[in-house]
Structure 1
Amino acid sequence: MGPVILLLVFVVLVLLAFVEALFHRRNLSSIPIRIHVNGTRGKSSVTRLIAGGLRAGGLVTCAKTTGTLARMILPDASEYPVFRPVGPNVIEQVRIVATAASYGAQAIVVECMALQPHLQWLSESRFLQSTHGIITNVRPDHLEVMGPKEEDVAWALAGTTPVGAILFTAEQKYLPIFEKAVLDRKTRLLAVTPKDVAAVTDEEMEGFPYVEHKENVALALRVCGELGIDRQTALTGMRKAPPDPGAMTVSHIRFFGRQIYFVNAFAANDPESTEQLWNMALNRYAGAEKRIAIFNCRTDRPVRSQQLGQACVRWQPADYYLLIGSGTYFFLKSAISEGMPLRKVLVLEHDSDSDIFEIIVERAGRSALVVGMGNAKGQGLSLARFFQNRGILREALKKEVA
């Protein structure tokens, strides 16, 4: 009887899988516009920007991000956390598509959640079968999975190139790799050029309630434009779209005569992007008396910590480097080996948010620029919230300026 029961169980499981596949195909076919967003940096932001633009254009749109916090975004722009009983798994995309179909979605925008190259391919070819693929950019991140070289990352990301569709990208350096991918999959390539990015004006960017990147906006505008939504309508929707929890924000704090400007750049965690945000913050707050860099480390991302530790020594210097989170040893060892003065480093791996705040205040002088980098998850999120809740409201600052 034992073998017979096992055979029956196997047959039942196969039938259930077959039925699930049929339902998934039906759900996919019910959503005419399917957008799959991949890349190293900016995936969550671009996903939200495109969804906002499509909503403003009158399309019933659902979206799902997997950045700082996984979120399902409904057609009315409300959102809720993605339930993960056993942790992240690419098969959850089936459930996301089913949810979008139940809302009668005309469009779905999904951030790629896979890191392993074969899972990236699986997400596209089996779960989403997108009509519009996006690769934001290529940076040297997750090299332990997609590397060892930056070029290997480009090849891995190219795995989500859709078949017989359109691929958008703002990447320039590795554009030849994507040209080969679209040729193989009979897909059209639309590249966002530096000229397209420059066409996004400072006035257009001022409407965002957080710090957004022109490259992300230009890419989202190109996608919305391809779907027949005019620039102004798309921009209006993008500005109204709720930002990702890890979006770059600035909190201005006045504390007993001190001025502290806290820049939440935790979501950027490859050396190139992180340096760009560091320089952007330095230029914006050039008058700050002290510069304090905070790096939130993760034990499960040792390579990232080593990369940032080696790279930050060559950036414009900070007065202090605060290491928080877990696994700070990897960052510290790499930074010291590259010549970082130990007197500038404070290891605060087990300190609370309030203790870290007090340490910053002690070293802030009359004014300080504090930039959080490395990882948003873990203490990065809680520390950013700590500063945000103590910052001057945006409306109050506007009144003061007026």
Structure 2
Amino acid sequence: MKANITIIANVIEDHMDVMGPTLDDIAEAFSSTIPENGYVIIPETPYQKYFEKVARQKNSKVVVADESWIDETYLQKFPFMIFPQNAALAMAVADILNIDHEVALEGMLQAPVDPGAMRVHRFGKEEAPKYFFNGFAANDTTSTLNIWERIQQLDYPDHERTVVMSCRSDRVERTIDFAENVLPHIEMERLIVMGESVWPVTKAYEEGKIRPLNLINLEKASTEVIVDHLKELPDHSVIYGIGNIVGAGEKVAAAVEELEFQPSYRGEIGWDEVEEVEESRSFSRKVLQTNK
């Protein structure tokens, strides 16, 4: 059985070693999934004309997902962070299948959370928590910056921002890429580097290309030492883990998850007030979905 609807969510700098080395190569690789006599759904992209050309050769139709009617009120109903583009792509599928919009919208809200979703972990003081965003698995520059932009839109505290960059000795090219194309574009109070082969980041810092107020070099440090540094960060800190999930990233994320707490309202407020408080604090339990 072959699918007759293909969704190409984006063309970004991901898995360049397999599908690259250029974005044109990635677009070409994705175009091979366009079906015969079917549909290909895409967001607004510079590669629209290219995909239309390939689709015509296969007698298929290109549908460009329309984000304009996806409003923030609807997106906030999800138990995880979702980009307007994601919802628009899904609605384009619903249109092709003649599924009622209201049914489709409700269906998306009820769908299971993707295993790749990333939770925001709250730890520290319950009345003044720290927020840890596990973005280690978003291993391309575009997704990493998109997640950071979305975090800022969700009204988290913005006066104590820490980025934790996880580096790998077998992914030095990625570290260089992040040092050049991610870290210079994130305003932060401090930058923690961990893992192995962190030199591209420290070099960029020394050259003034990355401008945190403080750089903390924890290369080859143990998970315990790294987490102790996170515990000592100021109250209301926003901590964003980026770079690589394999290695130090995975270990630190697991350790922070162990620190997570769930607020207890019993005895603090009346039960008739719980719903109101839950709504006001709901942003602190969001789940981040990478825009892939």
TM-score for both structures, normalised by structure 2: 0.79
Could you tell me which residue of structure 2 aligns to residue 296 of structure 1?
166
1:238 aligns with 2:111: no
- Consecutive unaligned residues in structure 1, runs of 5 or more: 1-27, 29-128
State the partner residue of 1:4: none
Relative contact order (alpha carbons < 8 A, sep ≥ 6): 1 or 2 greater? 2
1:369 corresponds in structure 2 to: 238
Which of the two has greater helix per residue? 1
Considering only CA atoms, is the larger Rg found in Structure 1 or Structure 2?
Answer: 1
2:252 corresponds, among 383, 389, 396, to: 383
User: Does 2:116 correspond to 1:249?
Assistant: no
User: Is 1:152 aligned to residue 152 of structure 2?
Assistant: no
Structure 1 residue 400, shift from structure 2 partner: 3.2
Paired letter, 1:152: D
Which residue is 2:55 aligned to? 182
Q: Deviations over 1:124-183 (max 9, x none)?
A: xxxxx3211111111123333333332232222212222222111114211111112112
Amino acid at match of 1:179: E
Measured in 2, the distance between the counterparts of 1:343 and 1:211 equals 29
Q: Residues 279, 227 of structure 1: CA spacing in aligned structure 2 closer, same or farther, 3 A cutoff?
A: same
Match of 2:97 in 1: 227
Amino acid at match of 1:371: Y
CA distance in structure 1 between the partners assigned to 2:205 and 2:12 by the alignment: 20
Given that residues 126 and 263 in structure 2 are in contact (C-alpha distance below 8 angstroms), is that contact kept between their aligned partners in structure 1?
no
Cα offset, 1:356, TM superposition: 2.0
Amino acid at match of 1:304: R
| 2:88 counterpart residue number | 218
Per-residue CA deviation, residues 7-53 of structure 1 (Å, 9 max, x unaligned), is xxxxxxxxxxxxxxxxxxxxx2xxxxxxxxxxxxxxxxxxxxxxxxx
Structure 2 gap segments, 5+ residues each: 266-273, 280-292
Secondary structure at the residue paired with 1:370?
strand
How far apart, in 1, do the equivalents of 2:191 and 2:115 lie? 24
**Counterparts of 2:112 and 2:63, CA distance in 1:** 27
Query: Paired residue for 1:323, among 166, 176, 193?
Result: 193
CA distance in 2, matches of 1:263, 1:141: 20
Relative to 1, partners in 2 of residues 1:342 and 1:190: Cα closer, same or farther, differing over 3 Å? Answer: closer
Output one character per residue of 1:202-243: Cα deviation in whole Å (capped at 9) or x when no partner: 222122111121211110121133223222323333223332
**Structure 2 CA distance for partners of 1:152 and 1:332, relative to 1, 3 Å:** farther
CA distance in 1, matches of 2:247, 2:103: 36
How many residues get paired?
271
| Residues 272-305 of structure 1, C-alpha deviations (whole Å, 9 max, x = no match) | 2212222332343463431101122334433222
Who is 2:277 aligned against? 400
The 3 A distance-change label for structure 1 pair 184 and 279 is same
Give yes or no for contact 1:264–1:372 (8 Å, CA) kept in 2: yes
AA aligned opposite 2:129: Q
Q: 1:401: how far off?
A: 4.4
Following the alignment from structure 2 to structure 1, what is the Cα–Cα distance between the partners of residues 115 and 83?
Answer: 16
Does structure 2 retain, via aligned residues, the 8 Å contact 1:313–1:340? yes
Residue type of the alignment partner of 2:216? L
Residue correspondence of structure 1 range 340-351 to structure 2 within 5 A: 340=210, 344-351=214-221
Q: Distance in 2 between matches of 1:349 and 1:214?
A: 37
When the two structures are superposed, what TM-score results if normalisation uses the length of structure 1? Answer: 0.59
Distance 1:150 1:159 in 2: 15
